[in-house]
């Protein structure tokens, strides 16, 4: 079962989002011009996915509380074998006129509450409401390439309508969990790869992960910490189409720690040999030192 959360009423979502997938249900709040027939409320559900699920697609089972049509009375509210009666107060219109001074205003019928009919023998399962609360379970097909904030629309899976009105829609909003290796930026993926000091200096081959398995990455000699390598086509294919993105690997040269005395002496000897080579081995350090000298000289002049 997919992790996620039910977020309740989402009425008006159908007017707000251009990034919704699924069937479009074009029903309005009322039907046939009758004021007592209402469309059910829209619902929203937050679906939490792993990066792999979002990139490759998946079928996820979700459960959420909702209002459904009573199956015993088929949403009518009347006990099986009986029927609703026309309201005697409004004669089935659902509204009455009331005089307020010089004005005559139309109001919802207080007797039938706008339904136009009355239940004399209510259904025992729904107490005459025609609706019941239930836990609904659905299988949601997540298309490959969805991203954080995308919404999947499931037409007619929201709350039941009133007095024969259509059901609302369910909007499944995608939330992608934090990944321990990759960060996603649209169609591209980013990761950080630690490499040893020796590999950075001498160059070598590294095995780096992708969503399709390991690949070899060639590290040239003299690689600096922060250098970024691009692996074409190892990113994500967007859900709305377009080319597959790339994977960007930023290398991080790891400084060795907890050295033995022998290793320390070797590094000290190595450092001495670098110093004898002047700025040939450390051009960035020498350039930075020259910049500092010019800066300090400018302050004193």
CA distance 144 to 52: 9
| Cβ–Cβ under 8 Å, residues 154 and 138 | yes
Q: What local confidence, expressed as pLDDT, does residue 15 receive?
A: 37
Q: What local confidence, expressed as pLDDT, does residue 151 receive?
A: 97
Q: What local confidence, expressed as pLDDT, does residue 4 receive?
A: 63
pTM of the model: 0.72
Helix/strand/coil (H/E/C) assignment for every residue in 94-128: CEEEEEECCEEEEEECCCCCCCCEECCCECCCCCC
Residue with tokens 């910049």: 291
* Beta-bridge partner residues of 174: 47
Q: What local confidence, expressed as pLDDT, does residue 20 receive?
A: 43
Task: Write down the domain spans for the chain.
Answer: 3-69+133-176, 183-300
Say which CATH topology domain 3-69+133-176 has. HSP40/DNAj peptide-binding domain (2.60.260)
Superfamily (CATH H level) for 183-300: Urease metallochaperone UreE, N-terminal domain (2.60.260.20)
Q: What local confidence, expressed as pLDDT, does residue 33 receive?
A: 38
Residues 6+ apart with CB under 8 A from 61: 1, 2, 137, 138, 139, 140
Note down pLDDT in tens along the chain; length 301 residues. Answer: 455 666 555 444 433 333 444 443 333 333 333 446 789 999 999 999 999 999 999 999 999 999 988 888 888 888 898 888 888 888 888 888 887 777 888 888 888 877 788 888 899 889 888 889 999 999 999 999 999 999 999 999 999 988 778 999 999 999 999 999 999 999 999 999 999 999 999 999 999 999 999 999 999 999 999 999 999 999 999 999 999 999 999 999 999 899 999 999 999 998 888 877 767 777 777 788 888 888 888 887 6
Nearest residue to 49 via CA among 181, 176, 147, 139: 176
């Amino acid at each position: 079962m997919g992790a996620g959360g039910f977020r309740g009423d989402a009425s008006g979502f159908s007017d707000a989002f251009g990034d919704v997938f699924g069937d479009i249900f074009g029903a309005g709040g009322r039907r046939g011009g009758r004021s007592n027939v209402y469309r059910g409320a829209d619902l929203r559900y937050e679906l939490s996915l792993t990066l792999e699920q979002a990139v490759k697609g998946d079928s996820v089972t979700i459960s959420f509380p909702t209002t459904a049509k009573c199956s015993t009375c088929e949403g009518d509210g009347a006990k099986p074998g009986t029927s609703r009666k026309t309201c005697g107060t409004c004669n089935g219109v659902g509204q009455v006129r009331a005089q307020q001074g010089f004005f005559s205003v139309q109001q919802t019928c207080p007797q039938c509450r706008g339904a136009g009919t009355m239940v004399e023998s209510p259904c025992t399962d729904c107490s005459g409401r025609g609706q019941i609360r239930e836990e609904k379970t659905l299988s949601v097909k997540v298309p490959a390439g969805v991203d954080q904030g995308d919404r999947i629309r499931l037409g007619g899976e929201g709350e039941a309508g009133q007095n024969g009105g259509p059901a609302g829609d369910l909007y499944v909003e995608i939330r992608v969990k934090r990944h321990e290796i990759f960060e996603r930026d649209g169609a591209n993926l980013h990761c950080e790869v630690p490499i040893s000091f020796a590999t950075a200096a001498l160059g070598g081959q590294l095995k780096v992960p992708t969503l399709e398995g390991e690949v070899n990455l060639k590290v040239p000699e003299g690689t600096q910490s922060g250098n970024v390598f691009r692996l074409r086509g190892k990113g994500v294919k967007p859900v709305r189409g377009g080319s597959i993105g790339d994977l960007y690997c930023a290398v991080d040269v790891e400084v060795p720690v907890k050295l033995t005395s022998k290793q320390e002496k070797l590094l000290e000897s190595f450092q001495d040999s670098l110093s004898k080579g002047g700025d040939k081995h450390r051009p960035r350090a020498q350039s930075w030192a020259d910049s500092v000298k010019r800066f300090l000289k400018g302050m004193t002049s």
